[in-house]
Amino acid sequence: MKKVWSVFSRKGCVTVSWILLRLSFLFVAATIVLEAGAIVGYAQAVGVKSELRVWIPMRDGIKLSARVFLPKAEGKYPAVLQRTPYNKEKWTTGHDMWTDQGYVYVVQDVRGRFESEGVWYPFFQEKQDGYDTLAWIHRQPWSNGKVGMFGPSYNAIVQFAAIQGGGAPLLTSLIPTFVHADAWVRGWYSGGAFYLFNSVWWACTTAGRGDQRSGLAQLDLDKFYRQLPLITLNEKAGCGGAPFFSDIVTHYTHDDYWKAYGIHDDYALFKVPSLLIGGWYDYYAADTFAQYNGLVNHAPGSEIARSHKVLMGPWGHHHGMSSQAKPGDKDYGRSEIDFGPESSFEYQRFYLDWFDRTLKGSKPSPTQSAPIRIFVMGTNKWRDEYEWPLARTKYVKYYLHSAGNANTLNGDGVLSQEVPNQEPPDSYTYDPADPVPTRGGNLSVGPSPAIKDLLWAGPSDQRPVELRKDVLSYTSSPLEQDTEVTGPVQLVLAAASSAPDTDFVGRLVDVYPDGRAINITEGVIRARFREKRYWEKPNLISPGVIYEYRIDLQATSNVFKKGHRLRVDITSSSFPLWDRNLNTGHLPWLDTEIRKAEQHIHHSRHHPSHLLLPTIR
């Protein structure tokens, strides 16, 4: 039996004997063994905070390590829980925020990670372990039966899993942040393209019991990610103990492996209020709204439907953006757009407000009363909305035009609402050996010094990549008035390729009067997965044949200011965000052969390629 405990004494000077006497009394009188394998040191006295180190038993006998922080006064309290694979010790900072406001704060290492027993495998065990952890909390003498869960990314996935594992009756509310709804559609894959960088980086983060990224961080990452075949990358990175990576690479279609990890079929199970938080530059921006609509449309009652809310800010995979470089750097300066003072997010205030309302029954506060609150970039203001997409949306088609020379930002590509007539297609050569580099954008990687020169999230000047011949740029005339684009964005392409399989990448860009080309949102599609019916059984294309590709550019809210110009960039890679399509049609995880592909983008009356923008009046 494992026994670990610590007691926080009052501040001030006390004698050694008094300390020993207090510790002895607390140990003898207050340490309670409630169940086999778990020591619960309910060491409380009036005015003395307590911290418990506990082992929470699962149904199969495995014990998961957790830390529990209790308020000063003895009594029964609501609890807030975080379950994480990222080392619970890193999530203990700020526990006073909870205990000072009358909450018990519980943070736990998930199975097989850091101090917890068992074998780690992502997702697989979280349904039953989440339920068992919630049941344990309910049995504690300090619990009043109200429990909320919160946390980002994987810490949000475990919230969904707890509900799917039958935990709804044991939960009172949730705050899932920065997370996908379907692990294939918008998770480890996107439009069929493999989420290369994050998959290897995350596999190393979670390989075995601790973080194994140290070796990866020492590598030349640009060269490392170019190695083939993909199946060997985790071993070459020194992360061979991550079987999960091999599984996600080999399960490259939307098969039963992935369906087990989605929540799209289980929305009706969510009988507790959920505050969904996302970012316009997060990898899962569109999925945040997909979750919201799923929860509302499948809610077991109108009251539950009204209880769900969305908060969407101008962020990446975290609450805010860290600067990457200073203006004036040689590559136009990778500085971010200043979204103004309202873009800062006091997440503690929102979290406390949400749990005060849902766990304590407090009256609604001004932080968020409407079901949807979005940050409108460009005006840099928050705004309340009541449905998604917005009911007042007008979808406007902006057609691609050129005389056949739209290559680079200096080409003749034009974007307008005029339907094209007979125009020659634009062409470029896509060479997987020389892919277009990722430059900012929608990513689920947080700020990290180890990768800041290769990959970063957010708005960045795209001109360096727009000077490449394998990037087509179509730009509108200067706008005569402010134009708001809020909602899902789609790029419809009529395209042909010389390859049996290839990729097409689309990006919406805001062009400033001074020439800066700031990415707004983006997406990719792999030709063999061009339609949903091919997600499970991919279908290669016939070289030279024109196909229609509908590229999901996620969602955004941005006001393109008067004098700015709209732009759409089209290419066939964004590396190392997504894996390079080698243009062979072979199994992507085993392929080592690289072929060039000749790409042709058609825009004519018979093939009117266009950008579909949700404009708001």
Q: What are 288-336's pLDDT values in tens digits?
A: 999 999 999 999 999 999 999 999 999 988 765 544 444 444 433 344 7
Catalytic residue status for 317: yes
| pTM of the predicted model as reported, rounded to 2 decimal places | 0.89
CA-closest candidate to residue 523, choices 193, 211, 251 = 193
Q: What is the pLDDT of residue 216?
A: 74
Match domain 393-616 to its CATH number in 3.75.10.20, 2.60.120.260, 3.40.50.2020, 3.10.20.30: 2.60.120.260
pLDDT tens-digit readout, 174-198: 999 999 988 899 889 999 999 999 8
**Does 369 or 414 have the greater pLDDT score?**
414
Active-site residue, selected from the candidate residues 282, 353, 461, 470 = 282
Query: Can you tell me whether residue 67 is helix, strand or coil?
Result: strand
CATH superfamily, domain at 73-182+264-385: Alpha/Beta hydrolase fold, catalytic domain (3.40.50.1820)
pLDDT tens-digit readout, 463-487: 999 999 999 999 999 999 999 999 9
Q: What is the pLDDT of residue 366?
A: 62
Q: If you search the block for the tokens 């965000």, which residue do you land on?
A: 577
Please determine, for residue 369, whether its predicted confidence score (pLDDT) is greater than 70.
Answer: yes
Q: What is the pLDDT of residue 214?
A: 65
Catalytic residue status for 153: yes
How much of the chain exceeds pLDDT 70, in percent? 87
Domain ranges of the chain: 73-182+264-385, 193-251, 393-616
Strands (E) in 402-444, as ranges, are: 414-416, 426-430
Task: Let me know the angle formed at the C-alpha of 256 by 250 and 260, rounded to the nearest 5 degrees.
Answer: 110
HEC per residue, 24-80: HHHHHHHEEEEECCEEEECCCECCECEEEEEEEECCCCCEEEEEEEECCCCCCEEEE
Please determine, for residue 446, whether its predicted confidence score (pLDDT) is greater than 80.
Answer: no
d(CA 497, CA 207): 39
pLDDT tens-digit readout, 511-570: 999 999 999 999 999 999 999 999 999 999 999 999 999 999 999 999 999 999 999 999
Q: Got the DSSP string for 468-494?
A: STT-EEEEPPPPSS-EEEEEEEEEEEE
Please determine, for residue 218, whether its predicted confidence score (pLDDT) is greater than 80.
Answer: no
Q: What is the pLDDT of residue 479?
A: 98
Assigned token pair, 44: 């409380």
Active-site residue, selected from the candidate residues 95, 180, 254, 317 = 317
Catalytic residue status for 143: no
Assigned token pair, 554: 């996620």
Beta-bridge mates of residue 427: 600
Q: What is the pLDDT of residue 343?
A: 86
Average pLDDT of span 222-240 = 89
Q: What is the pLDDT of residue 213?
A: 66
Q: Which helix (H) or strand (E) holds 5?
A: strand 4-7
Q: What is the pLDDT of residue 260?
A: 82
